[in-house]
Amino acid sequence: MADIVEGIHYLSVEDFIYINRTLIEAQTPSEPIDVINHNNLCSSQARPSVVKYYQQTDDMFELSAALIESLIQNHAFANANKRTAMMAGYMFLLLNGYELTAPGDEIVVMAEGMARKVYNCEDLENWLCYWSRPYDSRNLCDCEISSLVVTATQVKIE
Protein backbone atom coordinates (compact mmCIF):
# COMPACT_ATOMS: atom_id res chain seq x y z
CA MET A 1 0.00 0.00 0.00
CA ALA A 2 1.18 3.52 -0.74
CA ASP A 3 3.04 5.47 1.94
CA ILE A 4 1.97 9.07 2.59
CA VAL A 5 4.74 11.55 3.36
CA GLU A 6 4.05 15.29 3.58
CA GLY A 7 0.76 14.78 1.73
CA ILE A 8 2.26 12.83 -1.17
CA HIS A 9 1.32 9.19 -1.74
CA TYR A 10 4.39 7.13 -2.66
CA LEU A 11 4.24 3.57 -3.97
CA SER A 12 6.22 0.90 -2.13
CA VAL A 13 8.68 -1.63 -3.55
CA GLU A 14 6.03 -4.27 -2.87
CA ASP A 15 3.57 -2.27 -4.98
CA PHE A 16 6.01 -2.29 -7.91
CA ILE A 17 6.52 -6.05 -7.58
CA TYR A 18 2.75 -6.57 -7.50
CA ILE A 19 2.26 -4.34 -10.55
CA ASN A 20 4.96 -6.21 -12.48
CA ARG A 21 3.54 -9.64 -11.61
CA THR A 22 -0.04 -8.63 -12.41
CA LEU A 23 0.86 -7.11 -15.78
CA ILE A 24 2.88 -10.13 -16.86
CA GLU A 25 0.23 -12.61 -15.71
CA ALA A 26 -2.49 -10.65 -17.56
CA GLN A 27 -0.61 -9.88 -20.78
CA THR A 28 2.37 -12.19 -21.29
CA PRO A 29 1.99 -15.14 -18.90
CA SER A 30 4.82 -17.14 -20.47
CA GLU A 31 7.41 -14.51 -19.47
CA PRO A 32 9.50 -15.12 -16.34
CA ILE A 33 8.56 -12.98 -13.34
CA ASP A 34 11.50 -11.92 -11.21
CA VAL A 35 13.26 -8.99 -9.59
CA ILE A 36 16.77 -9.09 -11.03
CA ASN A 37 18.16 -6.10 -9.14
CA HIS A 38 16.52 -5.28 -5.82
CA ASN A 39 18.87 -2.35 -5.15
CA ASN A 40 17.82 -0.71 -8.42
CA LEU A 41 14.18 -1.27 -7.53
CA CYS A 42 14.68 0.39 -4.14
CA SER A 43 16.51 3.25 -5.85
CA SER A 44 13.57 3.75 -8.23
CA GLN A 45 11.12 3.71 -5.34
CA ALA A 46 13.07 6.48 -3.60
CA ARG A 47 13.55 8.61 -6.72
CA PRO A 48 10.37 10.76 -6.43
CA SER A 49 11.10 11.66 -2.80
CA VAL A 50 14.73 12.48 -3.66
CA VAL A 51 13.58 14.73 -6.51
CA LYS A 52 11.02 16.36 -4.21
CA TYR A 53 13.70 17.12 -1.62
CA TYR A 54 16.52 18.30 -3.87
CA GLN A 55 14.37 20.14 -6.42
CA GLN A 56 12.09 21.50 -3.67
CA THR A 57 9.03 20.61 -5.73
CA ASP A 58 5.59 19.16 -5.17
CA ASP A 59 4.89 19.00 -8.91
CA MET A 60 3.24 15.61 -9.39
CA PHE A 61 4.19 15.46 -13.07
CA GLU A 62 7.87 16.02 -12.27
CA LEU A 63 7.77 13.41 -9.51
CA SER A 64 5.88 10.89 -11.64
CA ALA A 65 8.26 11.44 -14.56
CA ALA A 66 11.22 10.82 -12.25
CA LEU A 67 9.64 7.57 -11.07
CA ILE A 68 8.85 6.33 -14.58
CA GLU A 69 12.27 7.24 -15.95
CA SER A 70 14.00 5.53 -13.05
CA LEU A 71 11.99 2.31 -13.36
CA ILE A 72 12.64 2.13 -17.11
CA GLN A 73 16.35 2.95 -16.92
CA ASN A 74 17.15 0.87 -13.81
CA HIS A 75 15.69 -2.28 -15.37
CA ALA A 76 15.04 -3.97 -12.01
CA PHE A 77 12.73 -6.68 -13.38
CA ALA A 78 13.42 -9.62 -15.68
CA ASN A 79 10.53 -8.48 -17.93
CA ALA A 80 7.89 -5.76 -18.33
CA ASN A 81 10.00 -2.89 -17.02
CA LYS A 82 8.35 -0.33 -19.34
CA ARG A 83 4.85 -1.61 -18.60
CA THR A 84 5.55 -1.59 -14.88
CA ALA A 85 7.00 1.92 -15.05
CA MET A 86 4.05 3.36 -16.94
CA MET A 87 1.52 1.64 -14.66
CA ALA A 88 3.40 2.84 -11.57
CA GLY A 89 3.41 6.38 -12.96
CA TYR A 90 -0.31 6.13 -13.69
CA MET A 91 -1.03 4.94 -10.16
CA PHE A 92 1.27 7.54 -8.59
CA LEU A 93 -0.62 10.29 -10.41
CA LEU A 94 -4.01 8.80 -9.56
CA LEU A 95 -3.19 8.55 -5.86
CA ASN A 96 -2.02 12.17 -5.93
CA GLY A 97 -4.99 13.75 -7.67
CA TYR A 98 -4.46 13.29 -11.41
CA GLU A 99 -5.70 10.78 -13.95
CA LEU A 100 -3.54 9.91 -16.95
CA THR A 101 -5.86 9.78 -19.98
CA ALA A 102 -3.39 9.03 -22.78
CA PRO A 103 -4.49 6.39 -25.30
CA GLY A 104 -2.67 3.07 -25.17
CA ASP A 105 -0.67 3.68 -28.35
CA GLU A 106 0.60 7.01 -26.98
CA ILE A 107 1.68 5.28 -23.77
CA VAL A 108 3.60 2.70 -25.80
CA VAL A 109 5.35 5.38 -27.87
CA MET A 110 6.41 7.31 -24.76
CA ALA A 111 7.60 4.22 -22.87
CA GLU A 112 9.62 2.95 -25.81
CA GLY A 113 10.99 6.44 -26.45
CA MET A 114 12.13 6.72 -22.84
CA ALA A 115 13.81 3.32 -23.01
CA ARG A 116 15.67 4.30 -26.20
CA LYS A 117 16.40 7.77 -24.80
CA VAL A 118 14.52 9.45 -27.63
CA TYR A 119 12.69 11.35 -24.88
CA ASN A 120 14.11 12.73 -21.64
CA CYS A 121 12.54 13.25 -18.23
CA GLU A 122 11.38 16.78 -19.10
CA ASP A 123 9.66 15.48 -22.26
CA LEU A 124 7.93 12.84 -20.15
CA GLU A 125 6.92 15.43 -17.56
CA ASN A 126 5.34 17.62 -20.25
CA TRP A 127 3.64 14.57 -21.81
CA LEU A 128 2.17 13.55 -18.44
CA CYS A 129 0.88 17.08 -17.89
CA TYR A 130 -0.69 17.18 -21.36
CA TRP A 131 -2.45 13.82 -20.99
CA SER A 132 -3.64 14.23 -17.39
CA ARG A 133 -6.69 15.76 -15.78
CA PRO A 134 -7.55 16.43 -12.14
CA TYR A 135 -8.91 13.42 -10.28
CA ASP A 136 -10.56 13.30 -6.87
CA SER A 137 -8.36 10.72 -5.18
CA ARG A 138 -10.81 10.55 -2.25
CA ASN A 139 -12.64 8.06 -4.49
CA LEU A 140 -9.74 5.71 -3.79
CA CYS A 141 -10.01 5.77 0.02
CA ASP A 142 -10.86 2.10 0.36
CA CYS A 143 -9.06 1.03 -2.77
CA GLU A 144 -6.08 -1.30 -2.74
CA ILE A 145 -3.24 -1.03 -5.25
CA SER A 146 -4.30 -4.42 -6.62
CA SER A 147 -7.70 -3.15 -7.75
CA LEU A 148 -6.11 -0.17 -9.51
CA VAL A 149 -3.79 -2.40 -11.52
CA VAL A 150 -6.58 -4.68 -12.69
CA THR A 151 -8.35 -1.79 -14.43
CA ALA A 152 -5.38 -0.90 -16.61
CA THR A 153 -3.87 -4.21 -17.72
CA GLN A 154 -5.25 -3.96 -21.25
CA VAL A 155 -2.36 -1.81 -22.54
CA LYS A 156 0.52 -3.92 -23.83
CA ILE A 157 3.92 -2.28 -24.11
CA GLU A 158 6.53 -4.37 -25.90
pLDDT given for residue 137 in this prediction: 84
- The reply to whether 35 falls in a domain is yes
pLDDT of residue 121: 98
Q: Quick: pLDDT tens for 36-79.
A: 999 999 999 999 999 999 999 999 999 999 999 999 999 999 99
Q: Is the pLDDT of residue 33 over 70?
A: yes
The answer to whether residue 158 sits within a structural domain is no
Q: Is residue 130 part of a domain?
A: yes
The predicted structure's pLDDT at residue 158? 45
Note whether 65 and 125 are within 8 A (CB).
Answer: yes
Which DSSP string do the residues of 37-106 spell out, in sequence order?
Answer: -HHHHHHHHHHHHHHHHHHT---HHHHHHHHHHHHHHH--BSS-HHHHHHHHHHHHHHHTTEEE---HHH
24 domain-assigned: yes
The answer to whether the beta carbons of residues 109 and 118 sit under 8 Å apart is no
Tell whether 23 is covered by a domain: yes
pTM of the model: 0.90
- 85: CATH: 1.20.120.1870
Residue 104 has what pLDDT? 94
Average pLDDT on 80-93 reads 98
Number of domains in the chain: 1
The domain of 142 spans 3-150
**pLDDT over 90 (residue 155):** no
pLDDT value at residue 122? 98
Between 39 and 146, name the one with better pLDDT.
39
Question: Could you tell me whether strands 132-134 and 98-100 are parallel, antiparallel, or unpaired per DSSP bridges?
Answer: antiparallel
**How far apart are alpha carbons 103 and 39 in whole angstroms?**
32
Residue 156 belongs to some domain of the structure: no
